[in-house]
Structure 1
Amino acid sequence: MFRTPKLLASAALAVALAACSSLTLPNTPAAVAPVDESLVAHPIPTTLTGYLAAGAIDGTALLGPPPAPDSLRGQADRARYLETRSLEGSARWAQAKVDNDLWGGGALKQYACKMGVAIDARQTPSTLRVLERVELDVRTVGKPAKDHYNRPRPMVGDDRAICVPREAWMKTNASYPSGHAMTGWVWALILAELMPAKTDGLLAVGKSVGDSRAICGVHYPSDIEAGRTLGAAMVATLHGDPEFQADMRKARAEVARARTAPSGCGA
């Protein structure tokens, strides 16, 4: 089911703001990303690798542990899960299903609509390549913290409705931090760097992708916050990578000359 974009002008601002092709392998590939079933249960095959090597960011230390269940924040997390179960069948519930669809293109289409530029292998292959590669980095950076803290997802042991089909991996794939929220925020920051004039709309999409995980009932709010924090740190780190910088220059040029707007964006 996995998913997973341009940073604002400076890495400091990125930190403050707390999918699918057959392109060839980069000349110096990073380590193969560890598998995170929450992101890759139904991926489109790719030969790409991420930019970052394992250990480039210590997400476990950066984030610290999730709230204890009996703490005020832990209780607030659980209350939010229970509250959002009443949204089943609502427009926000339907939007959460779209936001969940990273690999199928539901989330990606929303970014494209905000930019007014189709993000696909035909018109913007370099941009798509960057987004695909950083989604792989999300796995590399996020999974160690997930495994270390091993926080159960909110719907485990609870039969209330969630907005996606229940699957066996949900019982073993930890909740903290949220990989979807991390990917959505990373994509938003990267795409905003490519098209600064569209920053507000792009960040709004990135925020929605994360918030929808709580609406769906598969993450707690603090999981989402942790995903955004780790995503911002990842983007700041990527800006020190020469290969990422080179790919971003290509993406910036093709976005500037793109002429085909995505279809089906509505009013």
Structure 2
Amino acid sequence: MTRFSLIVAAALGLALAGCSAIDGLPNPFPHGAAAATPGSAQVATTAPSAGWVKPPPGYLPAGAIDAATIIGPPPAPDSARAKAERAQFDETRKLANTDAWSQAIADADLSGKNGMKAFSCAAGVTLSAEATPTLANMLLRLTDDAAKIYQPAKSIYQRPRPPVGNTAPICAPREAWINTDGSYPSGHGLIGWAWASVIAELVPEKASPILARGKAFGDSRIVCGVHFQSDVEAGRYLGSALVTRLHDDPGFMDDLAKARAEVAASKAKGAPTGCVG
């Protein structure tokens, strides 16, 4: 089963010393949580991939976007960037079972449930399958479009994931896809940025926090330990390419107009509940 199967199935201060050239992750201890010692307790993980539910078909045909042409290859294994990213992986294993780890597990969910809740708080508008059904379906369709873009690039580059060859804690079960599904580019980096870009277009006055949430969505894969930072950054480039291309698709534009009306109606009902900060 592919990594795409797992990431859709998963429903449900540390300064990164020595990695300053590639850091930029949010404060992993926003509530003062201490770093966990790997092996000191059972490490929390996402649900296994057996519960995967296929998303609805996307908007674009296969091959509409050539990811490899856009992003090029990942850093060479012996490059300074690759070595720094490996050090970042080692350092972020200290985040096991912290608040940042819990957020990474929540961000692994591409069913829309956790993502809509988090983006609702960033946008200051309730976004859900009930309040904004067209938007909710659009985001799921984007996950299908995303797979058509990142999967061919993964097959070309076949970059091993950070946990390959070690037993360090990660926030996902160590299933077969860890060893067989390429690390570059990150599907989550692509999807989180694409989701954020669409929602920011619908709530432009909250574009900054919405896009910050989209960035954090991808960064959670670094905390999780299943991607390097350059994987996530490449995914964001592809997320921008996807949304740009979708603006030339009549079906997407029709849905965007419907979603805009849904968001306006939801906004009129007041701010979402359960948001912190």
- TM-score bracket relative to the smaller structure: 0.7 to 0.9
C-alpha change, 1:233 and 1:41, in structure 2 (3 Å) is farther
Q: Supply the distance in 1 between the matched residues of 2:248 and 2:80 (Cα, whole angstroms).
A: 38
The residue aligned with 1:224 is 232
Alignment of 1:66-215 (within 5 A): 66-103=74-111, 105-215=113-223
The answer to whether structure 1 residue 43 and structure 2 residue 52 are counterparts is yes
- The structure-2 alpha-carbon separation of the partners of 1:126 and 1:163, relative to structure 1 and needing over 3 Å to count, comes to same
Query: Structure 1: which amino acid aligns with 2:53?
Result: I
Offset at residue 165 of structure 1 (A): 1.9
Q: Corresponding residue for 1:2?
A: 7
Q: Which has the higher contact order (CA 8 A, sep 6+)?
A: 1
SS at match of 2:7: coil
Q: CA deviation at 1:167?
A: 1.4
The answer (yes or no) to whether the contact 2:112–2:139 under 8 Å persists in 1 is no
Relative to structure 1, the CA distance from residue 235 to residue 90 in structure 2 (aligned partners, 3 Å threshold; closer, same or farther) is same
Structure 1 residue 172: deviation in Å? 0.7
The aligned counterpart of 2:257 is 249
Distance 2:117 2:52 in 1: 17
Task: Give me the whole-angstrom Cα distance separating, in 2, the residues matched to 1:226 and 1:104.
Answer: 22
Q: Which runs of 5+ in 1 are unaligned?
A: 5-39
Contact 1:123 1:260 in 2 (8 A): no
CA separation of 1:118 and 1:45: change in aligned 2, threshold 3 A? farther
Aligned residue in 1 for 2:275: 265
Give the letter aligned to residue 69 of structure 2: A
Q: CA deviation at 1:114?
A: 1.8
Q: Aligned residues: percent identity?
A: 49
Deviation at 1:204? 1.2
- The 1-side partners of 2:112 and 2:60 are apart by 24
Give the aligned CA root-mean-square deviation in angstroms: 1.8
What's the TM-score, normalizing by structure 1?
A: 0.81
Counterpart residue identity of residue 237, structure 1? R
Give the counterpart letter for 1:130 in structure 2: M
Instruction: Rate the CA distance shift 1:104–1:170 in 2: closer, same or farther, 3 A.
Output: farther
Say if 1:2 and 1:42, in contact at 8 Å, map to a contact too: no
What is the distance in 2 between the residues matched to 1:104 and 1:82?
A: 30
Deviations 1:84-125 (A, max 9, x none): 112223222222222222226223310012223332232211
Render the CA deviation track for 1:195-224: whole Å, top value 9, x for unaligned: 001111111111111111111110000000
